[in-house]
Amino acid sequence: MSLCDERDLIRVAVAINEAIMNAIYHGNLDVGSDLRDEDEETYLDLIHRRRDLAPYKDRRIHLWARESRAEAIYVVRDEGAGFDPNALPDPTDPANLTRASGRGLLLIKTFMDQVEHNSIGNQITMRKRRVS
């Protein structure tokens, strides 16, 4: 629908991918980035194990998209407990540059025009407007 150029289309795809990966790993599987900062092997092992354990294995990701000539809206919701996006450490703070937490959300906010979370933090709404 010629909403944006190819460069921005790739950015939108990255934002959607980050939102889905966050919903899977941090939402439905309830594996925090703090563990990844401590020990990536343990982080990946926990993800692998929880994929086959209840209640994690039964949780789903819900996706919704609406695209028009004026804008595209993408909603990703997980079935996890949610989180407070304002409580994440600032990934641009020099003290946090090597930490994994918040990096995906930073990309999403950078690439999309508007980003909102629901009150419990298990749903993200991303909006990309047409470039005039």
C-alpha pair distances (Å), 60 with each of 28, 76, 95, 126: 7, 11, 35, 19
| Domain range summary for the chain, segments of one domain joined by + | 6-129
Question: Are 104 and 21 within 8 A, CB to CB?
Answer: yes
Question: Are 85 and 117 within 8 A, CB to CB?
Answer: yes
Domain 6-129 has CATH 3.30.565: yes
**Integer Cα distance of 95 and 90 in angstroms:** 9
Is residue 37's pLDDT more than 90?
A: no
Query: What percent of the chain clears pLDDT 70, i.e. is strictly above it?
Result: 99
Sign of CA dihedral 110, 88, 13, 130: negative
Query: What are the two backbone dihedrals, phi and then psi, of residue 124, each rounded to the nearest 5 degrees?
Result: -120, 135
Confidence of residue 1 (pLDDT cuts 50, 70, 90): low
Average pLDDT value over all residues in the chain: 93
Is residue 23's pLDDT more than 90?
A: yes
What pLDDT score was predicted for residue 45?
Answer: 97
